């Protein structure tokens, strides 16, 4: 068994050096997904949902267009491919495995046809996350609900999958839909989350330096303040200590609920509810990577053996999800009215 992933303490308490940050502190719940066998009663990524048998499964009407260079596979084929890859690690493929992979990825003729294949009709959405309020302290559930279900259409709309949110009271679900429909194809294999159990952990976060007041930005950029406080931060950061602040002290990387967004792909943009002009709250970060070499990488005892049938998961990418070329998809909700449409940003 693995031990619970635990975020190491921050290198130092940033509010002792920059006290004006203190009122901006927010908690976030890091989800620390790890491959497993979630049930509908578990909080999970890519796991089965507690979905009422009598309720229509969500579908997306498109448009769905696939570039002919991409082979849009079904979820079943992507699972098969991943299982073969895991089982054959360290040995040659068996003839049967090779045959299966050739069926999934037939040899292509050259030159490739650059056909564009549209998928007509509506496409069943895929489970992305199921979060019970009891497991996730930073999940703010609308009154009368204690469960959030996030699904997505595994096609780009136009640059990432389109998400749908469902809030429920878990106790009201009697009969669970046993075999939900699946999409016939997905734009990319990376849009099929590997089933993961969660190890929620609450951490404290601060805004990206670009979201701070001019005065605070100047303080953070003043290397002598860091030195006077004896923070021990490497001299390599002397000309731009904000970089250390953003990567090690501000927002945690990886899948999380609440907290402050990490920006990288784009500069921070305002998150305003288009319906009522309220400042929207960060709900869920769907991350490509759980972390890099930063101090946010959790401590955990590695398993001696991966669970049977599972790939030896890449600790940086346990869910196998990739957004863009390695970014995050962040979902925002309106704090005043949960029925106002949510927003999605890639960063
Ligand atoms: Zn769609
Ligand atoms: Zn609103």
59: closest CA among 122, 129, 128? 122
Write out residues in the chain with pLDDT < 50, as ranges.
1, 308-309
| Strands 116-118 and 123-124, bridge-based pairing | unpaired
Question: Helix or strand or coil: residue 303?
Answer: coil
> Could you write out the DSSP letters of every residue in 154-189?
SS-SSSSPEEEEEEE-GGG--SBPSS----S--S-G
Q: Would you state the pLDDT for residue 174?
A: 94
For the chain, the distance separating the N- and C-terminal CA atoms, rounded to the nearest angstrom, is 34
Q: Are 313 and 82 in contact (CB under 8 A)?
A: no
Q: What are phi and psi of 95, to 5 degrees?
A: -55, -40
Q: Reduced to 3 states, what is the DSSP secondary structure of residue 308? A: coil
281 forms bridges with which residues in the sheet? 333
Q: Is the peptide bond before 285 cis (omega within 30 degrees of 0)?
A: no
Q: Which ligand is nearest to the CA of 276?
A: 2
Nearest ligand by distance to the CA of 271: 2
**Residue 195 CA, ligand 1 centroid: distance in Å:** 21
**Residue ranges with CB less than 5 Å from ion ligand 1:** 60, 153, 155
CA 24–ligand 2 middle distance (angstroms) = 22
pLDDT value of position 338: 86
**Residue 145: helix, strand or coil by DSSP?**
coil
Q: Which of these, 287, 263, 271, lies nearest to 209 by C-alpha position?
A: 263
CB-CB contact of 192 with 73 (8 Å): no
Rounded to a whole number, what is the largest CA-CA distance in the chain?
66
Pair of tokens at residue 53: 């048998």
Query: How far does the centroid of ligand 1 lie from the alpha carbon of residue 180, in Å?
Result: 17
Q: Report whether 205 contacts 25 (CB < 8 A).
A: yes
Which pLDDT score is estimated for 311?
54
Q: Which ligand is nearest to the CA of 156?
A: 1
Angle at which helices 75-87 and 95-104 cross, to 10°: 150
Distance of alpha carbon 99 from alpha carbon 331, whole angstroms: 41
What pLDDT is stored for residue 70 in this prediction? 66
Cα of 286 from ligand 2 centre, angstroms: 22
Q: How far is the CA of 282 from the centre of ligand 2 (A)?
A: 13
Q: What is the pLDDT of residues 140-182, one digit of tens each?
A: 999 999 999 999 999 999 999 999 999 999 999 999 999 999 9
Whole-number Å distance between alpha carbons of 15 and 216? 12
Distance 37 CA to ligand 1 centre (A): 27
Q: How far is the CA of 127 from the centre of ligand 1 (A)?
A: 14
Q: Which residues pair with 151 in a beta bridge?
A: 127, 164
How high is the pLDDT of residue 344?
96
Q: How far apart are CA 108 and CA 105, in angstroms?
A: 8
pLDDT (0 to 100) of residue 97: 97
Q: For residue 127, list its beta bridge partners.
A: 151
How far away, in angstroms, is 280 Cα from ligand 2 center? 8
Q: How far is the CA of 261 from the centre of ligand 1 (A)?
A: 25
């Amino acid at each position: 068994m693995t031990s619970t992933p635990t975020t190491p303490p921050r290198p130092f308490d940033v509010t002792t050096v920059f006290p004006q940050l203190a009122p901006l502190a927010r908690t976030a719940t890091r989800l620390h997904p790890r491959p497993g066998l979630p049930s509908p009663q578990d909080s999970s990524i890519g796991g089965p949902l507690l979905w009422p048998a009598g309720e229509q499964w969500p579908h997306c009407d498109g448009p769905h267009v696939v570039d002919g260079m991409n082979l849009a596979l079904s979820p079943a084929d992507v699972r098969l491919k991943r299982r073969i890859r895991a089982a054959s690690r360290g040995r040659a493929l068996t003839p049967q495995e090779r045959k299966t992979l050739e069926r999934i990825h037939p040899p292509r003729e050259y030159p490739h046809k650059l056909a564009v294949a549209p998928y007509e009709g509506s496409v069943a959405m895929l489970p992305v996350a199921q979060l019970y309020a009891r497991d996730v302290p930073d999940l703010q559930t609308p009154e009368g609900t204690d469960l959030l279900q996030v699904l997505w259409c595994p096609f780009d709309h136009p640059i990432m999958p389109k998400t749908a949110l469902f809030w429920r009271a878990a106790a009201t679900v009697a009969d669970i839909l046993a075999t939900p429909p699946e999409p016939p194809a997905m734009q990319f294999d990376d849009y099929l989350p590997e089933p993961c159990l969660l190890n929620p952990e609450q951490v404290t976060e601060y805004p990206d330096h670009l979201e701070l007041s001019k005065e605070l930005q100047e303080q953070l950029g003043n290397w002598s303040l860091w030195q006077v406080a004896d923070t021990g931060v490497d001299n390599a950061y002397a000309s731009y200590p904000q970089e250390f602040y953003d990567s090690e002290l501000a927002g945690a990387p990886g899948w999380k609920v609440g907290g402050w967004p990490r920006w990288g792909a784009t500069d921070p943009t305002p998150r305003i509810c288009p319906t009522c002009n309220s400042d929207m709250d960060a709900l869920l970060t769907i991350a490509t990577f759980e972390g890099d070499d930063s101090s946010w990488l959790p401590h955990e005892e590695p398993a001696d053996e991966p669970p049977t049938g599972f790939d030896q998961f890449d600790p940086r990418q346990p869910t196998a999800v990739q957004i863009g070329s390695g970014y995050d998809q962040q979902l925002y909700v309106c704090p005043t009215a949960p029925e106002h449409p949510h927003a999605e940003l890639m960063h």
